[in-house]
Structure 1
Amino acid sequence: MATTIDKAADTAQPEARGPNIRLMLLPLMIAMLLSQLDNMIVGTAIPTVVGDLGGMEHLSWVVTAYTLATAAATPVWGKLGDLHGRKGLFITSVVIFLVGSALSGMAQDMTQLIGFRVIQGLGAGGLMAAVMAIVGELVPPREQGRYQGMLAAVLALSMIGGPLVGGAITDHLGWRWAFYINLPIGAVVLVMAAMVLRLPVRRSSARIDYPGAALLMAGITAVVLVATWGGTEYAWGSDVIVSLCAAAVLCLGTFVFWQTRAAEPVLPLHIFRSRNFALMSVTGFVMGFVMFGAVLFLPLYQQAVQGVSATNSGLLLLPMMSAMIVVAMAAGRITSGTGRYKAFPVAGGALMLTGMLLLSTMDTSTSRTEAALYMAVLGAGLGCLLQVIMLISQNSVDIRDIGVASAAITLFRMLGSSFGVAVMGALFNRRVLEVMAEHTPARPALAHAQLDAASLARLEPAVQEAYRHATAAGTHSAFLIGSLAGALALLAGLLVREVALRRTAASGVSQANLGRTGQD
């Protein structure tokens, strides 16, 4: 790969420290919050959107289109950042996200909204890939633990605050402002990024691997559609799902073959030769599987079984999120202070396994205090893993591959979340319908196992009580499969080799590894 320079010194640039790093990370954290919040806010506004635009039959695509575009674009953005520098790609992805937001807010029918959500998702994929890679470029692995609390807080804030913000915006400003609210915040991100981000500029003559990118996008699209539609829109054995599975195998198999021959592969396979990176890819998938499954089914359990109001459903996750933030901050400080990290993937896997097993024991007699303690155990496990996964991954590859490595881990986490919701949801629905049939055999089967609060309130008392038992049984099945995933994370953690963390950042003294670069 040929690389040229505008004008660069051979000597190392001094690494930013302390307040400078925090200032540079601020626009990244705001951008990450934007992309994470979007689906949470929009999900709350969807009933109002359908009431205004119609198109109920296309409802699921408002979320699915965004998720698909984000997942498919993430690896490509990561590779582009490695080849051409990250600041320009980050700003470009923010602009695309904002354009998609503005167009979504102006949509006049459901077809337009779905198309504009694709544009939003393409930008969101760039945001996620760029944020993680820029953190790896600005901060050496040995120092990254100091900033883990910021990343953990962003994730927790989006999950807890998203439904609250979405509900408030929809009720008081209208659903279009669920999209328009991104514009002023995004403008702040663009101004701050232009002013404070100082990153290496690459001038590469290498071309992106377009055939590989197309194959990867097609394969990821098929995989996400299988996870989204399987058991819900279509039966698992239906022609549609079987065809999608075949397409996924064909596209991804061809992609792997092509990557061994491409001059500049979009996802270089040599990064998976690193034992630690391969293990963290598995752990990232499992973490997404468990976390997003829990985020979906914990509020459902507390609303249906424990009678908690759905109005502030995001607040029901506070025990889990609080534990996650506290443990992530502690893990970060310990890692930065000692340079040792293997204990955290091991402890994270063990706590995640324990937390899911405890949650699987919940029934109609479980108190809110018990449920909160079980959630805190799970949150502690997630906190051990939240940023350590990315830290180990970035430390396991060459500096020139930080972008694709960060994007790959982000992608695996997203795929894990899709499969977690799909698999746990399928088990939940099947078990709920079975228990309802046992308790109320004379009643017609429920149209859908997951009832909202309004639908539940309309049921007769006997049916409501049966549904409480059915929901408890359904969450037991869902969390039990989650505990098996936790066991896989524990095994991966035990196999991790503790390799010394790099003390230099890609934007600092490691210029030689990047090729000769200038500073933007």
Structure 2
Amino acid sequence: MSHREIMRALSGLLLGLFVAMLSSTIVTNALPKILADLHGGESAYTWIVAATLLAVTASTPLWGKLADLFSKKLLVQISLLAYVAGSMLAGLAQTPAQLIACRVFQGLAVGGISALAQVCMAAMISPRERGRYSGYFGMAFALATVGGPLIGGVIVDTSWLGWRWCFYVCVPLAVVAVIILQRTLHLPTERREGVRIDYLGATLIAASVTLLLVWVTLAGSSYAWLSWQTAAMVGGSVVLGALAIRTEQRAAEPIVPLRMFRHRTVVLATVASVMVGVGMYGATMFLSQYFQLARGKSPIASGFATTPMVLGLAVASYASGKLITRTGRWKIVLMAGAAFLAVGFALLGVLRADTPYGVVALAMAVTGVGVGTVMQNLVLAVQNTVPAGELGIASSMATFFRTLGGAVGVSALGAVLAAKVSQSLGGHGVGGGAIPDLSKIPAAVRPVIEAAFGHGIGTVFLWCVPFALVAFVSIWLIREVPLKTESGIERTAAGRVSA
């Protein structure tokens, strides 16, 4: 396929991926307003984000397995239509619990869109050329990251629209993506008869992760970290995880084939993906809270304020992809990205309510460069290692573990922030459990709340530094393998069964 033919085939996928990412970022600046309207607290704030990530995490391996068995194009279209339904329901929510449930439904669809976009790209493009197109995917992510908060801010600040349109606005874009995919994406389908999907394994994996997230979210507020509730939830999560592993060992078509972890690259890239996920999702979520709750900015102003991080992400995604395609070397690029991520989090760790914006902008730009360099290219490293017949599950696994890191990280870091803010505000007679509406806070109390959130969010980013360092070490330990020069379709057609 020529470059023009590939870009035409990718057009619907890029729009679908943009819409999927937009669903996460468009609410970041709107959440304080949403929860003030629905009377939700910091726990609800965390769970509206974490529930979506959890659903993405749980569904991604299933979508990847289906992609190895059925029509990739049809699966993408189904996931987009499911996304439309979830978005409409989210816009009708009347309570935080209802909104969280609708966000779970959205997340199931987003898991399909994000995983299948990677699968389709791997089928069409060789690993050696894929870095270039991964850059376009990274730019779509960056555009959604910068556009989402701005669009959400405009919607929330426009009285005749309101926050519910943060969900409705994505619907027409998703429908257009379905139509474009029908006209432009044409991939061969290899149907395999008698295949049984391992739904039990998928359920056990989801249950294990869910129980762990519930524990992380509630520990320290509803009960002590060292308590019988902690023992029951952590123990239950471990037991469910062990059952999931046992099920995957016995399943004829496992959701997560354990044989993949015989590849050193897959294991180390998995560790790095989890660590990067913590920072990638945490930065987006907590920077929004920082600008609105620590600096008193409006939702739309908060969107503009995060522009340096998004520009860094977009430029790094495109440049790193081009560099990998030109040189064929990917390990040094990934190591540099992880180093930028660690430095960026360390700089964000100095955040306070009165930190000069120039310092904040520099820290965000460095963090964006780190995320943009590592995010898509870790998937490339995994795809280059596994057999052609397992590209679907391999691609989805990389996304799965990145999102898993994000879900656990957002929940854990949200708990850290809630505890830090409550501790800071407790001595001033101000409750720290709910998300405050600063416009309704007395002028004498407002600086206290802003200082508490500024210091708390800075502490959260300091906690992210070790995760970035673990990602750096994991990438350093990966043995670099030359990038293959054939696409997934070509490798399958040639009858190859190993990488």
What is residue 93 of structure 1 aligned with on the other side?
79
Alignment of structure 1 residues 414-493 onto 2, 5 Å: 414-436=403-425, 441=427, 443-448=428-433, 451-454=436-439, 457-460=441-444, 463-493=445-475
Alignment of structure 1 residues 327-476 onto 2, 5 Å: 327-363=316-352, 366-436=355-425, 441=427, 443-448=428-433, 451-454=436-439, 457-460=441-444, 463-476=445-458
Quickly say closer, same or farther: Cα 1:136–1:453, change in 2 above 3 A: farther
Whole-Å separation in 1 of the counterparts to 2:88 and 2:288: 31
Look up the equivalent residue of 2:187 and give its one-letter code: L
CA contact (8 A) 2:29 2:288 kept: no
1:41 aligns with 2:26: yes
CA contact (8 A) 1:70 1:125 kept: yes
Whole-Å separation in 2 of the counterparts to 1:277 and 1:110: 38
Task: Quote the offset at 1:204 in angstroms.
Answer: 0.7
1:185 aligns with 2:173: yes
TM-score normalized with structure 2 length: 0.88
What is residue 199 of structure 1 aligned with on the other side?
187
Percent of aligned pairs with the same amino acid: 34
Deviation track 1:48-69 (CA, whole Å, cap 9, x = no partner) reads: 77788x6859966655554433
1:137 aligns with 2:119: no
Quickly say closer, same or farther: Cα 1:184–1:347, change in 2 above 3 A: same
Whole-Å separation in 1 of the counterparts to 2:496 and 2:437: 53
Whole-Å separation in 2 of the counterparts to 1:421 and 1:379: 18
CA contact (8 A) 1:504 1:510 kept: no
DSSP 3-state at the match of 1:447: coil
Using the TM superposition, name which of 373-382 and 487-496 deviates more: 373-382
Look up the equivalent residue of 2:122 and give its one-letter code: G
Whole-Å separation in 2 of the counterparts to 1:234 and 1:402: 43
What is residue 151 of structure 1 aligned with on the other side?
137
Unpaired runs of 5+ residues, structure 2, are: none
Task: Quote the offset at 1:27 in angstroms.
Answer: 0.9
Alignment of structure 1 residues 45-60 onto 2, 5 Å: none
Quickly say closer, same or farther: Cα 1:95–1:492, change in 2 above 3 A: same
DSSP 3-state at the match of 2:87: helix
Whole-Å separation in 2 of the counterparts to 1:328 and 1:240: 43
Look up the equivalent residue of 2:116 and give its one-letter code: A
Look up the equivalent residue of 1:428 and give its one-letter code: L
Whole-Å separation in 2 of the counterparts to 1:107 and 1:423: 26
Look up the equivalent residue of 2:76 and give its one-letter code: F
Which residue of the other structure, out of 310, 313, 327, is the alignment partner of 1:324?
313
Using the TM superposition, name which of 115-124 and 405-414 deviates more: 115-124
RMSD of aligned Cα (Å): 3.0
Look up the equivalent residue of 1:248 and give its one-letter code: S
Task: Quote the offset at 1:431 in angstroms.
Answer: 3.4
Task: Quote the offset at 1:342 in angstroms.
Answer: 0.9
CA contact (8 A) 2:33 2:437 kept: no
Which residue of the other structure, out of 476, 491, 500, is the alignment partner of 2:482?
500
What is residue 261 of structure 2 aligned with on the other side?
272
Whole-Å separation in 2 of the counterparts to 1:278 and 1:397: 12
Alignment of structure 1 residues 17-96 onto 2, 5 Å: 17-42=2-27, 65-96=51-82
Whole-Å separation in 2 of the counterparts to 1:459 and 1:225: 36
Quickly say closer, same or farther: Cα 1:117–1:374, change in 2 above 3 A: closer
Look up the equivalent residue of 1:22 and give its one-letter code: M
Unpaired runs of 5+ residues, structure 1, are: 1-15, 516-520
CA contact (8 A) 2:425 2:432 kept: no
Deviation track 1:348-383 (CA, whole Å, cap 9, x = no partner) reads: 121111122222234466321122112222222222
TM-score normalized with structure 1 length: 0.85
